[in-house]
Amino acid sequence: MGKEWTTLRELLLPGAAATSRGRHERPIEGALRDAIRGGQLTPGTRLPSSRDLAGQLGVSRGTITATYGQLVAEGYLVSRPGSGTSVARALAGSTAPAAPAPSPAPRWRFDLRPGLPSLQAFPRAEWVAATRASLGELPDEALGYPDPAGLPQLRAELAGYLGRVRAVSTTADDIVITHGAAEAFSLLSAALVAAGHRDVAVEDPGHPGAAEVAAAAGLRPRPVPVDCDGIRVDDLTETGCRAVVVTAAHQFPLGTALQPERRHALLAWARERDAVIIEDDYDAEHRYDRPALRAMQAMEPCRVAYVGSVSKTLAPALRLGWLVPPAPLRAAVIERKRLTDLGCSPLPQAAFVRMLRTGGYDRHLRRTRSLYRRRRDALLEALAERLPVWRPVGIAAGLHVVLQLPDGVDDAAVRDLLAGRGIQVPALSDYSGDPPYPGLVIGYAATPPDRLRSAVAEIAELVGA
């Protein structure tokens, strides 16, 4: 059903004024016809009843009835018993330019992008129950404007959870709730600019999101190479930056962990230069073959800003994340949060509190960890059978693997070849100006095992491997 306009007074006022001076009904008719032809009233829009519109314009109902009747006869309006009067879908004689149809999103036969969890595994029933229970417990005042730092109950639960699973050194007062990791990067970037920073180092290869957000805030991203031990601190030192974004627990996209020597070197770099390390702990919950290294933030809370979210564990649509900034940046971050959106909605925060308190979140993670391991294993088995010379990298954790291609292969050309057959998988070169080797970055969490096997079989046929 189209939108029903509650008032057309301002739109048709000139015609109504002419009618009130004793002229016939055609001024209203012309104004309504022009509004339709000009696109101010779009096809399918429901119009007020003749009685309602006559009251709005201060004219007789007969005037409006005659106007509607004439425009129905001309094909501008459609009138059906029980459905009222609406603008015709196909306008007779319309001179308004047709609105361009939006380009349809590509429909991929196999969508193997990294970074997506299984959206089918979202715990809908538990989330609905948590929402209902938490809403019943919220006091009335909690439905007003929220604390910009976030719901106090959630910050308290997160302090305990992050300390338990990631050894993060924090209290409820240290945590800021954000609209996902993207807003956390935005808030930190603004705080860094205000503190005099002009550049920020980012991993290469790395996810472009943090660099894009930093650039939008006025920082210049400076790529720093990553090898099998993590970010190369010697190269970082040469940039002159005093801030860096790292994925220490599971480097994106290569999948390596920042090794202990590099961790200590990075922390020493931060101390020597009074620098800030932004730790993007984007998928620390997904570990299969080895225990996770504890968060870097636990080693030096005054130098490390810790960023996390539920986008890789529950669903990106929740737009729920958290930030533990170093103490010198916390006030600036909260003030920026207050000025930009007055804080995140308390309702999803309260539901998440409920899931944390009742163990629902831990149960969900246990289920998905098992699910993703089975999918990873199916992918690796299919690759070993159909593409044995292509080496999977970074298989111990996360939601994706990097498939290292033979030297000399153009990974962008392979990506485009697969895209032509409806298989979406990024090239490693999409994440780097100078990748260490050609590769494909294959996300497996959102695809069932049989579909993963089918995708690998088609990839093998296409590349002739």
Tens-digit pLDDT profile for residues 340-396: 999 999 999 999 999 999 999 999 999 999 999 999 999 999 999 999 999 999 999
Q: How far apart are CA 265 and CA 273, in angstroms?
A: 12
Q: How far apart are CA 403 and CA 410, in angstroms?
A: 13
pLDDT confidence bin for 29, thresholds 50/70/90: confident
Q: What is the mean pLDDT of residues 424-449?
A: 96
Collect all residues with Cβ–Cβ distance below 8 Å to 285 and sequence separation of at least 6: 165, 312, 313, 365, 369
Using the predicted structure, report yes or no on whether residue 3 has a pLDDT greater than 60.
no
Half-sphere exposure of 179 (CA within 13 A, CB side): 13
SS3 306: strand
- φ, ψ for residue 224, nearest 5 deg: -125, 130
State the CATH architecture for 110-115+363-463: Alpha-Beta Complex (3.90)
Q: Where in the chain is the domain with CATH 3.90.1150.10?
A: 110-115+363-463
- In single-letter form, the type of residue at position 355 comes to M
pLDDT of residue 31: 86
SS3 38: coil
- In single-letter form, the type of residue at position 362 comes to D
Using the predicted structure, report yes or no on whether residue 265 has a pLDDT greater than 70.
yes
CATH number of 123-361: 3.40.640.10
Tell me the H-state helices in 4-79.
9-20, 26-37, 50-57, 61-74
**Domain 9-87 grouped into CATH 3.40.630.30:** no
Tell me the H-state helices in 101-228.
124-137, 152-166, 180-194, 208-216
pTM: 0.83
The long-range contacts involving 91-97, CB below 8 angstroms and separated by at least 24 positions, are 91/36, 91/37, 91/43, 93/37, 94/36, 94/37, 95/37, 96/36, 96/37, 96/38, 96/39, 97/39
Q: Where in the chain is the domain with CATH 3.40.640.10?
A: 123-361
pLDDT confidence bin for 84, thresholds 50/70/90: confident
Q: What is the mean pLDDT of residues 35-60?
A: 86
Asked if omega into 253 is within 30° of 0 (cis), the reply is yes
Q: Where in the chain is the domain with CATH 1.10.10.10?
A: 9-87
Q: CA dihedral defined by 159, 160, 163, 164, rounded to 10 degrees?
A: -150
CB atoms within 10 A of CB 70: 16
pLDDT confidence bin for 22, thresholds 50/70/90: very low
Q: Which of 179, 323, 356 is nearest to 245 (CA)?
A: 323
Calculate Rg over the CA atoms of the chain.
29
Query: CA geometry: angle at 225 spanning 259 and 411, to 5°?
Result: 110
